[in-house]
Copies of this chain bind each other. A is one copy, B any other.
Amino acid sequence: MKSDLLAAPHATAPPSSRRALIASVATELFHRKGYAATSMRELASVSGIEAPSLYNHFSSKETLLHEICFGMADAFVSTARRLAALDLPVEDRLARAIEEHLRLLFSDREAVGVFVNEWRHLSEPSLQTFKALRSDYEQFFAGLFQEGMLKGVFRQGDPLWLGRQLLLLMNGSIHSTARPDSEALANLGRRFYGLWMHGVASSTTQPD
């Protein structure tokens, strides 16, 4: 196995090796048309290559999917591990988690799209492993809410539900067309944080 170029957060930069080019094209096609609706021949054609040559770089179609999905999953989980170790008030850690999640999300939107929508086409045992990683990441967010509730910073509720909903919300942002620069990204993060913390009601109205 060569270097894991998928982990590097460059979306548009031209990959050096042929292998990385194929992975990048596959990511785009899997995202736009779906895994099942993308054929190896089309992938080859867009890559400027013949279909059999693909198998000099990837042993199967599913290997491509595997690499994309687990590349993103590892990135998310390792980010979560890093954030969990931070010594900050829980609401600040939440803000950081939102910010980092969005940063990762926009570092390669197409890969995230595949990660979010196409993972179900993985076969066992990869599927099990993937779900476990996904659950880890959800648990990290759930843990933030749980801790915040214990400390009285957050209203009571189901922490796992809240974690999943927040992730759902952020992941939906990849559908917005504009590619945000780092400033716009920070703004988006504050927007999510504000919405999640205080909702849409004007501050004059009171909670029930």
User: Which A residues fall within an 8 A CB radius of B?
Assistant: 34, 36-37, 91, 117, 120-121, 145, 148, 152-155, 157, 161-162, 164-165, 168-169, 172, 175-176, 191, 194-208
* Given A121-B37, A194-B207, A205-B153: A200 in contact with B164 (beta carbons within 8 A): no
Interface residue from B153, B172, B199 paired with A168 (Cβ < 8 Å): B172
Q: Within 8 Å CB of A152, what residues of B?
A: 202, 204
A147 to chain B, nearest CB (A): 12
Interface residue from B34, B154, B155, B206 paired with A34 (Cβ < 8 Å): B34
**Nearest 4 pairs between A and B by C-beta?**
A36-B36, A199-B199, A168-B172, A36-B37
Q: Within 8 Å CB of A164, what residues of B?
A: 172, 175
Work out how many copies of this chain go into the complex.
2
A190 to chain B, nearest CB (A): 9
Q: Which residue of B lies closest to A190 (CB)?
A: B208
User: Do A208 and B196 touch across chains, with their CB atoms under 8 A apart?
Assistant: no
| Docked complex Cα distance between A67 and B118 (Å) | 24
User: Do A154 and B194 touch across chains, with their CB atoms under 8 A apart?
Assistant: no
| Docked complex Cα distance between A208 and B164 (Å) | 25
* Given A201-B198, A207-B198: A165 in contact with B169 (beta carbons within 8 A): yes
User: Do A201 and B169 touch across chains, with their CB atoms under 8 A apart?
Assistant: no
| Docked complex Cα distance between A165 and B117 (Å) | 17
| Docked complex Cα distance between A203 and B207 (Å) | 7
Please, could you name 18 A-B residue pairs with CB atoms under 8 Å apart, sorted by A? A34-B36, A34-B121, A36-B37, A153-B201, A153-B202, A155-B200, A155-B202, A161-B176, A162-B195, A165-B169, A165-B172, A168-B169, A169-B169, A195-B199, A196-B200, A197-B199, A197-B200, A203-B207
